[in-house]
Amino acid sequence: MNFLRPNHNVWRIERAARAAVLIDAAAFFAAVRGACLKAERSILVVGWDIDSRTQLVGDDGNPLDGFSSGFADFLSELVRTRPQLRVHLLLWDYSLLYAGERELLPRLSLGWRTPERVTLCIDDSVPFGSSQHQKIVVVDDAVAFSGGLDLTIRRWDTTSHSALNSHRVDPSGHPYRPFHDVQMMVDGDAAQALALLARERWCRAYGGKPLIEPHGEPWPEEVRADFTEVEVGIARTQPRYDTEDAIREAETLFIDSIDLAEREIYIENQFLSSPLIADRLADRVARRPELEVVIVAPRTHDSWVERHTMLNGRIRFWRRVSAAGGNRVRLLYPAVEQGGRTTDTMIHSKIMVVDDRFLRVGSANINNRSMGADTECDLAIEARNDHERAAIREIRNRLLGEHCGVSAADVAACLARDGSLVRAADHLGANGHKLRPIEDGEPRESGLSDVIERIADPPRPIRPARLARHLLARLRPLLVALACGLLVLGIALAWRYTPLSSFVTADNVRAVLKSARGEAWAIVIVVLVFVLAGAIVFPLNVLILTTAAVFGPWLGILYGGAGTLSSGLVMYFIGSRLGREALYRMLGERWRHGIEGVRKRGLLAVVTFRLLPIAPFTLVNLAAGASGIRFVDFLVGTLIGMLPGLVLLSVMGDRIIRILAEPSAGDIAIVVLCVAILIGLAIAAQAFLGRRGDRA
């Protein structure tokens, strides 16, 4: 029974008279150049990225065919010498997230500055949140390339991946680190099928009908075929469109090929975040005690977006696989140490080899978006005879040997001697190359990372309405914290730069309170004054002193207590609506442990904060509500903690008025005594809190 099945894990299975695996961009660029030099009618490039400045050269970095090395100039010169040749370039209309990595004005460099028979189309037909991620080149509908490489900058490298290479520079002359990727080239019916797929993408974005007209033999002579007369499966990912269902052949092919494994799985992939694939790998290694898995990936992720999206996913992915496989699984990166320079090879390839039975080369990463959100195209070969099995082993050994600085023959000898893919990956190393374990550390868990992850690595196209609801739910604490911070800042600025400080004074407050003296509803006015004053962070002690001065010590205690408690409760309930997450975001994660401690101490914490002048009364109340302190603890703690100070301040307020009207030694002594008692209570509370902290 055949493993590859059309309309299940592949779109079609087509025969190729020749198929070659092109390892690294120097081989791919040279092969594309050679095929294009033979082109007579059409060249079609479908890419995630296409850059006019790409140096389309081979290992030596210098073309010898008389045409320019730059991609746009090469195509322009080519069509001028071939009257019937037309070139079509389909470039994804990339999002702003990738603007810094792309050529600034592709319409100018690839459209207006090239001859009329070079046509550029910016593909914006994919759904919101998706990308056109297929990387296909078709020449005369007779030879086609598909895999992980775009015709763009910062991709070119040779299989030696030396620490320094004078040709490995970007258009600005800045060197970049070694870069590894893989493409497959096919001819025959397989090439025509890829031509149909690429033209369907072109017609979806540009218009027209996908007509296929194979012509000539553009296979470059310098490329040796790894397979002859071989069946090639083509697996796709396509997000759901308005009138078409989603296609998830690439995902199904991953699952089915994992289930096929008996002894060895070798994977190269840029991103690892799909929980479905992680679970399938973990289940397979748990069921097959003899199965080994070696995954080669980038040492880390370069861009800010990738670090906040793919890194957490890879940590979760690898934890799941390593927990099931133990010493039989490896996650490695290619380290390079040459001439006193230490670097690592960027892994951009999407390769999978299962035993010596299955080979996959494609554009699909093992992340969520490649399973259902982006367009992808992978080529797969299921070995049907000993020659094809040997070819698959040879390709895997070439890949592994390249990262370890040894030949494919050295890898084969090591595998024959030890019988272990894992031990070969662990022990092989030469010429400054060595595979080393990836150490990602702990995941960066936060609401922001979760939001970015859902946007940058979605399992299906993003629905704007659903995204907005999710953003609102996840970012609500951050937005609330930001609003609170802006409110506090606004109040501070108002006190500093507006007439508020001259309008809200102790004298004006006293005038308002005096107007209510003797009225039955005086306590209502006092409570409203306390609540409003608390909202603008007016000093509480001034309010209590003023209340006592207007109403006398006994009513001052009653009215001041009612106002203090009411103001505190209003701010407490506002804080409780904000929640702890908003408080953490305002104060920072380093305060999380302290806030949790305050919440657990409850009553004691509230009493302590009332006795000690740690922070403004309003902010303490907001923080108490947000931290989750129980309402009963807050209420009782406020009453206990505020009562001594309330009594003393009320007595002081009454005596201060009497001193101003008619000074006496007794009144002055009472005020001094009250101040001393307040200081003593603060010192005692501080000492008590310190002893409690020592015991903790």
Q: Which of 155, 114, 142, 124 is nearest to 28 (CA)?
A: 155
Parallel/antiparallel/unpaired status of strands 86-92 and 118-123 = parallel
Distance from C-alpha of 151 to C-alpha of 61, rounded to nearest angstrom: 15
Tokens at 413, concatenated: 């000898």
What's the pLDDT score for residue 68?
96
Q: For 289-303, 603-617, 634-648, which range has the lowest pLDDT when averaged over its residues?
A: 603-617
Max mean pLDDT range (467-476, 521-530, 625-634): 521-530
Tally of CA atoms within 13 A in the half-sphere of 159 that contains its CB? 17
477 pLDDT higher than 90: no
Q: Show the domains of the chain with their CATH numbers.
A: 12-437 (3.30.870.10), 467-695 (no CATH)
Amino acid at 260: L
pLDDT per residue over 414-441, tens digit each?
999 999 999 999 999 999 999 999 999 8
Q: What is the pLDDT of residue 81?
A: 95
Hey, how many other C-beta atoms are within 10 angstroms of the C-beta on 674?
20
User: pLDDT tens for residues 167-204?
Assistant: 999 999 999 999 999 999 999 999 999 999 999 999 98
Per-residue pLDDT, 466: 54
Please tell me which residue, 634 or 64, carries the higher pLDDT value.
64
pLDDT value of residue 179: 97
Reply yes or no on whether the pLDDT at 666 is more than 80.
no
Residue-wise pLDDT tens digits, 124-173: 888 888 899 999 999 999 999 999 999 999 999 999 999 999 999 999 99
Confidence of residue 367 (pLDDT cuts 50, 70, 90): very high
pLDDT greater at residue 477 or residue 427: 427
- The pLDDT tens digits of the residues spanning 43-61 come to 999 999 999 999 999 998 8
CB 529 within 8 A of CB 513: yes
Is the per-residue pLDDT at 680 higher than 60? no
| β-strand pairing of 42-47 with 86-92 | parallel
Element (H, E) at 147: strand 143-147
Q: What is the pLDDT of residue 594?
A: 42
What is residue 296's predicted lDDT score, i.e. its pLDDT?
98
Place of tokens 């497959």: 184
pLDDT at residue 372 tops 70: yes
Tokens of 591: 């305060």
Contact between 212 and 29 (Cβ < 8 Å)? no
3-state secondary structure of 339: coil
Please list, in sequence order, all residues whose beta carbon lies within 8 angstroms of the beta carbon of residue 655, skipping any fewer than 6 positions away: 667, 670, 671, 674
Highest mean pLDDT among 206-210, 272-276, 541-545, 561-565: 272-276
With bands split at pLDDT 50, 70 and 90, how would you rate the model's confidence at 542? low
pLDDT at res. 686: 47
Give pLDDT tens digits for 222-281: 999 999 999 999 999 999 877 778 999 999 999 999 999 999 999 999 999 999 999 999
DSSP-assigned letter for residue 70: B
Determine the longest span between alpha carbons in the chain, in angstroms.
116
Alpha-carbon Rg for the chain in angstroms: 36
Q: How far apart are CA 349 and CA 490, in angstroms?
A: 52
Q: What is the DSSP string of 244-307?
A: S--EEHHHHHHHHHHHH-SSEEEEE-S-B--HHHHHHHHHHHHH-TT-EEEEE--SS--SHHHH
pLDDT (0 to 100) of residue 661: 45
pTM: 0.71
Mean pLDDT, to the nearest integer, of 328-340? 96
- Alpha carbon distance 48, 544 (integer Å): 69
Instruction: Identify the weakest region by mean pLDDT among 5-19, 131-145, 257-271, 492-506.
Output: 492-506
Tell me what the pLDDT averaged over the chain comes to.
81
Q: Across residues 440-449, what is the average pLDDT?
A: 74
Q: Nearest CA to 562 among 521, 605, 620, 616?
A: 521
Pairing of strands 143-147, 118-123: unpaired
